[in-house]
Amino acid sequence: MKKSLRQKHQRPRYGAALVEMAVVLPLLLTIVMGIIEFGRALMVSQLVTNAAREGTRLAAMDGSTNTDVETYVRQFVTTTLNVAAADVNVAIVITAATGNPSPVDNISSAKTRDQIQLSVSVPFEKVSYMTPVRIAGNTNITGMSVTRHQ
């Protein structure tokens, strides 16, 4: 079987696959790492929101104090996300119900039907897998929950 004229003069392309891989691989790895990092951010967001829910459940019960709630929430977040307790920010805001005196953001003085809002945030750079890259900059991941005092 004779080779055609085109096949006789065509050179083998041994390095073409290597060059193509060198061009495409960094882009592919960047996309994959971005997907992983975005998934991590969603997971952390859900865990921080769960910590806020657990904190508001504790805050809604009689006998709870701000210190009890903050300690519980920080322990919850440090256990689930493996971050330092100092990196977890907890903010408690209490809004008095109609006819109730203002509790001045103190859970122990909250009355029935007072609204307790708990906000928990963690810096994204503390929970990110790719800390040196710092894709999100100084972004905080925040979870919030609101409940009524019982």
9 CB contacts (<8 Å, ≥6 apart)? none
Asked if residue 35 is part of any domain, the answer here is yes
- What confidence score (pLDDT) does residue 69 get? 96
| Contact yes or no for 59/72 (Cβ under 8 A) | no
| Nearest residue to 125 via CA among 116, 137, 143 | 137
Which tens digits make up the pLDDT trace of 104-129? 888 988 888 999 999 999 998 888 88
**pTM surpassing 0.85?**
no
Which tens digits make up the pLDDT trace of 19-63? 889 999 999 998 998 899 899 999 999 999 999 999 999 999 988
| Nearest residue to 55 via CA among 65, 46, 45 | 65
Asked if residue 114 is part of any domain, the answer here is yes
Asked if residue 6 is part of any domain, the answer here is no
User: Which range marks the domain in which residue 26 is found?
Assistant: 13-148
Asked if residue 8 is part of any domain, the answer here is no
Number of Cβ within 10 Å of residue 108's Cβ equals: 13
Number of domains in the chain: 1
Asked if residue 64 is part of any domain, the answer here is yes
Could you tell me how many residues make up the chain? 150
